[in-house]
Amino acid sequence: MQKQKRSCVDETLDAWILIGPLILLMGIFIAFPIFSNFFYSFTKWNGVRKPEFIGFDNYVRMLADSRFFISLKNIGILILYIPFGVFVPLIIASLLRGGLPGWRIFRAVLYLPNILGSALLGLLYLVILSQAGPVTEILKFLGVPNAESIYLLGKSTSAIHTLAFLSVIWFRIGSGCIYYLAAMSNIDSSLYDAADVDGANSVQKFFHVTIPSILFSIQFCTVLAFIDVFARMYGLIYLLTNGGPGYATYTLELSIYNLTFKAMEKGYASAWSVTLFFFCAIIAIVQIRLIKKGNTP
C-alpha cells in the first residue's frame, strides 16, 4: 500500500515538473499581460512615466469617442461576411470531393494565400488594386470609362467591403477547403449510398448528408472566423488602408495600435483592449455553448 502511495506521489511530482515550465511561461506571457492591461485601463499612462490612477475616465472617454462606434460599425460589416467565408469553402470542398477534374491543382491554388502570409498578401493586393495597378489596366483595356476612378480601396463606400471580401472570404477559401475536405473524408460512404438508393440528388445529399456529418467542423470554422474579424485583421488593414479613407476601415485592433504607439496613450489604449477582450470572450462563450448544445444527444 505504501509503495502505491509513493508511486502516486512520484507520478504527481513528475507531472508538475513537466507542466511547471509551461505554467510559468503562460503566467509570464499570458496571465500577467492580461491582468496588467486591466490595471492600466484605469490609469493615465504614456508608457514611460508613472501611471496615474483615474478610475473609469478612460471608459467614459471611449464611449464618447466617435472612433469607437465607427470601429464597432466596421466590425459589424465584417461579421456580415462571415457566413460567406464559412460556406463558400464548404461548397468548393464539396465540389472538389465530388471528383471535379483537376481538383488537386485547384486545391493547391486555393491554398496558396495561406502559404504567402497576410503581410505579403497585403502588399500584393495593395499593388493589384491600386489606381495604376493591373485591375485598372484591365478595365482600361476593356474600354471602361474613367477606369482610374474605380479605386475600391480609396473610397469610403467600398473600402470596408473590399477588405471584408479579401480577408473574410478570399483568404479563407484555401484553409477552409483543406479543413472541410479532411472532415468529409471521415464521412461514412454508406450514408451517400443510402441517399442514392432513396433517389437523392447532389444538392439534397449536400444538405442532408454532408452538412450534418461535418457540423462540428462548420461550427469550428465559424468560431475561427469571428476570432479573425475581431483580433487578427490588424496586419492586413494596416497594409491596405491603414484605417482609411478617413475612418472607413478603422477597427478596434487598429485603434489600439494607434493609441499605444502613435498617440502614446497607453492607458486609454488599455481600455480599448479590455473592451475588445470582453467582446471576444462573450462571442467565444456563446459559440462554445451553442456547439455543446448542438452536440448534445
pLDDT in tens, 236-289: 898 888 888 889 999 999 999 999 998 899 999 999 999 999 988 888 788 778
Does one domain contain both 22 and 86?
no
> What's the whole-number average pLDDT of the chain?
85
Does one domain contain both 274 and 170?
yes
What is the number of other CB atoms lying within 10 angstroms of the CB of residue 66? 8
Cell of 22: 509551461
Cell of 196: 442514392
Does one domain contain both 52 and 180?
no
Q: Residue 236's pLDDT is what?
A: 87
Residue-by-residue DSSP string for 60-99 = HHHHT-HHHHHHHHHHHHHHHTHHHHHHHHHHHHHHHHTT
Does one domain contain both 71 and 41?
no
Q: Average pLDDT, stretch 106-128?
A: 77
Containing structural domain, residue 40: 2-57
Does one domain contain both 46 and 126?
no
Q: Average pLDDT, stretch 206-211?
A: 89
Does one domain contain both 20 and 160?
no
| Number of domains present in the structure of the chain | 2
Does one domain contain both 33 and 46?
yes
Does one domain contain both 27 and 71?
no
pLDDT in tens, 16-67: 888 888 888 988 888 888 899 999 999 999 888 889 999 999 999 999 999 9
pTM of the shown model: 0.86
Peptide bond into 51 cis (omega under 30): no
> Residue 196 is part of a domain; what is its CATH number?
1.10.3720.10
